[in-house]
Amino acid sequence: MIKILIICSFLLFPILGYGQVAKPADELLNTRNVSKLIFASTVKQASDFAHADIKKGIRYFVLISGIAPVVNQTDSSFEKNYKIQYHDFGCSGPSAEIALAYNKVMFNFLTDAHGKKWIKSARKDIIGLKDFKRHKL
């Protein structure tokens, strides 16, 4: 009897203990333009991608970090409050110029929608945020 309980606990624990961050549905993955930024060749194309994502109700801030993408504890509350997500490409993202053009459109959108209060709680490593704060504040 004890062997059966031990075996059952080893089988049930991994099943019940599995946790993972929810991934967007496949149709969302295929329709979001932030993923296509790697293939953008001009700044205009990147800003067009950002405007198209805003029209679809899909908003992202582009981050380019090191080898592995970084997630902070405060990310989820910011994303929920302002309905925008962080998209960290890790080390294999678009050029800084393309990412900046995309983010500028998102900066202006959030400022129009929420004023300047979002800037204080946003991650400091968003590409172009430091210059945006300097010019807008």
pLDDT in tens, 2-16: 777 777 666 666 665
Please check whether residue 103 is in contact with residue 126, taking contact to mean a CB–CB distance below 8 angstroms. yes
Q: Which helix H or strand E contains 94, and what residues bound it?
A: none
Q: What is the pLDDT of residues 51-88, one digit of tens each?
A: 999 999 989 999 988 787 778 888 889 999 999 999 88
- Measure the N-to-C terminal CA separation of the chain; round to a whole number of Å: 69
Tokens representing 75? 């990310």
CB atoms within 10 A of CB 107: 23
Q: Burial of 10 by CB count in 10 Å (0-12 exposed, 13-18 middle, 19+ buried)?
A: exposed
User: pTM score, two decimals?
Assistant: 0.76
